[in-house]
């Protein structure tokens, strides 16, 4: 599902316009980013936890020519799914 499909699905489920659903998605993105920047994590009980973490500097390799180069340290995000999300995913896959 991409952003456009998400907005359309949210608009249908919430009985709002796609413009309103888009504002909701944008607000969600901003709020999530702010939470990760300030607290380092965002926990949604049952759904999962988004956590910011520091990737260390490391050596990478260009797949085209095999030349090694240094990849700079950077912040990234991990997602740990919650128990309810995993339960629903596994229940639907076992049918």
Which domains does the chain show, CATH number per domain?
Answer: 3-93 (4.10.520.10)
Q: 77 forms bridges with which residues in the sheet? A: 52
Please tell me the distance from the alpha carbon of residue 21 to that of residue 24, in angstroms, as a whole number: 5
pLDDT tens track for 5-64: 999 999 999 999 999 999 999 999 999 999 999 989 999 999 999 999 999 999 999 999
What angle do helix axes 3-14 and 18-38 make, rounded to 10 degrees? 110
Q: Is pTM, for the whole model, over 0.95?
A: no
Please tell me the distance from the alpha carbon of residue 13 to that of residue 18, in angstroms, as a whole number: 11
Round the CA-based radius of gyration of the chain to a whole number and report it: 18
Q: Please give the DSSP secondary-structure letter assigned to residue 62.
A: -
């Amino acid at each position: 599902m991409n952003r456009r499909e998400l907005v359309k699905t949210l608009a249908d489920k919430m009985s709002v316009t796609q413009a309103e659903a888009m504002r909701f998605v944008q607000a969600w993105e901003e709020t999530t980013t702010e939470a990760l920047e300030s607290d380092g994590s965002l926990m949604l009980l049952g759904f999962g936890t988004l956590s910011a973490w520091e990737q260390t500097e490391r050596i990478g390799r260009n797949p085209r020519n095999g030349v090694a180069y240094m990849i700079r340290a950077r912040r990234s995000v991990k997602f740990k799914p919650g128990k309810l999300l995993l339960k629903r995913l596994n229940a639907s896959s076992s049918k």
